[in-house]
Amino acid sequence: MSTEVSANVVFEEDLRATGRAWGLLPVIVVVAFFAAAPVFAPVAAGAWFVNVLRFRNTKIRIDAERLSVGRRSVRLAALELSTLGRAGNTWPWRAFNRRYLGANPIWTNDSVGVRGIDEGRPCWVAVGTNRRDELVDALNGAVSAARTRAQSGTRSDGRALPPPAWHPDPWDPRSQLRWWDGQQWTGYTAPRRPGGPPPGIGAGGNR
Amino acid sequence: MIPIADENPVRRVPWVTILLIATCVVVYFVIQPTGAPKFRWDTVVERIDDEDLRFAVDNAAIPCELVRGRPLTEAEFNRTFSRGDEGDASACSHANGPKHAPGKPVFLALLATMFLHGSIPHLFGNMLFLWVFGSNLEERRGWWRYLLLYLVGGVVATAAHVAVDPNSTLPLIGASGAVAAVMGAYFVLYPNVRMKTMIFLGPVFLRKVQALWLLVIWVGQNLLLVAGPSGIAWAAHVGGFAFGALIGLGWVFGDRRHETAPSAPALST
CB atoms within 10 A of CB B261: 8
The CA distance from B197 to B2, in Å, is: 6
Integer Cα distance of B115 and B25 in angstroms: 9
| Interval A16-38 mean pLDDT | 88
Q: Taking the CA of residue A128 as centre, how many other CA atoms within 13 Å lie in the half-sphere pointing to its CB?
A: 25
| Cβ separation B207–A40 shorter than 8 A | no
Burial class (CB in 10 A: 0-12, 13-18, 19+), A196: exposed
CATH topology of domain B2-255: Rhomboid-like fold (1.20.1540)
Contact A112, A84 (CB under 8 A): yes
Average pLDDT over all residues of chain A: 82
Pick from B162, B217, B165: which is nearest to B195 by CA?
Answer: B217
Give the residues across from B51 on adjacent strands: none
What whole-number percentage of chain A has pLDDT above 70? 85
Mean pLDDT score, A105-112: 91
- Interface contact B194-A86, CB threshold 8 A: yes
Cβ atoms of B17 and B134 closer than 8 Å: yes
Cβ-nearest to B4 among A31, A51, A88: A31
Print burial letters for A39-66: b (CB count within 10 Å at least 16), e (below 16). Answer: ebbebbbebbeebbeebeebbbbbbbbb
- For residues B129 and A32, the answer to whether their CB atoms sit within 8 Å is no
CA dist B69 to A6, A57, B95, B115, Å? 75, 65, 13, 21
Comparison of pLDDT for B150 and A179, the residue scoring more? B150
Give me the helices (H) in chain B, please: 15-26, 50-59, 63-68, 74-81, 109-112, 120-141, 143-164, 176-189, 211-224, 234-260
ipTM for the predicted complex:
0.76
DSSP B46: P
What is the C-alpha separation between A87 and A102, in angstroms, rounded?
A: 9
Q: How many angstroms separate the CA of residue B209 from the nearest CA in chain A?
A: 7
Please state, in angstroms and rounded to a whole number, the distance separating the CA atoms of residues B81 and B104.
Answer: 18
Helix (H, G, I), strand (E, B) or coil at A124: strand
Distance CA B17, CA A98 (A): 44
| One-letter amino acid of A70 | G
pLDDT reported for residue B149: 96
DSSP A161: P
Q: Which residues of B113-129 are buried (b: 16+ CB within 10 A; e: fewer)?
A: bbbbbbbbbbbbbbbbb
Contact flag A32-B204 (C-beta cutoff 8 Å): yes
> Which of B41, B205, B206 is the mutation pick for testing A, counting most A CBs within 10 A?
B206
Name the residue with higher pLDDT: B220 or A160.
B220
B175 part of contact set with chain A, CB < 8 Å: no
Please report, as a single letter, which amino acid is at residue A84.
Answer: L
**Which residues of chain B make contact with A111, given a CB cutoff of 8 A?**
7, 194, 208
Confidence at residue A4, expressed as pLDDT on a 0 to 100 scale = 43
What are the E-state strand segments in chain A? 9-14, 59-63, 66-69, 72-75, 79-85, 100-103, 110-118, 121-129, 165-168, 176-180, 185-191
Contact yes or no for B41 and A48 at CB 8 A? no
CA B11, CA A202: separation in Å to the nearest integer?
57
Distances (CA, A) of B3 to A32, B133, B178: 11, 9, 17
From the list A38, A43, A111, the residue facing B203 with the nearest CB is: A43
* Confidence label for A207 from pLDDT (cuts 50, 70 and 90): very low
Top-confidence residue, B245 or A204: B245
Subunit contact B124:A34, Cβ cutoff 8 A: yes
Q: DSSP label at B30?
A: I
Amino acid found at B259: E
Measured from the Cβ of residue A154, the count of other Cβ atoms closer than 10 Å reads 13
Pick out chain B residues at pLDDT < 50: 38-47, 269
CA-only gyration radius of chain A, Å:
21
Q: Which is it for the CA torsion A24, B136, B198, A72, positive or negative?
A: negative
Mean pLDDT value across residues A169-190: 77
Sequence ranges of the domains in chain B: 2-255
Cβ <8 Å between B198 and A88: no
pLDDT band at A93 (very low <50, low <70, confident <90, very high): confident
> What count of Cα atoms within 13 Å lies in the side-chain half-sphere of residue A159?
4
Chain A residue numbers with beta carbons less than 8 Å from the beta carbon of B46 are none
Residue among B196, B197, B209, B210 with most chain A CBs within 10 A, to mutate: B196
Q: How many angstroms separate the CA atoms of A86 and A110, rounded?
A: 8
pLDDT of residue A188: 79
β-pairing, A100-103 with A121-129? Answer: parallel
Whether B166 and chain A come into contact, CB under 8 Å, resolves to no
Question: Which residues in chain B have Cβ-Cβ distances shorter than 8 Å to A90?
Answer: none
- Name the residue of chain A whose CA is nearest to B41's CA: A38
The whole-number pLDDT of residue A202 equals: 42
Segment of A3-12, A143-152, B60-69, B147-156 carrying the highest mean pLDDT: B147-156
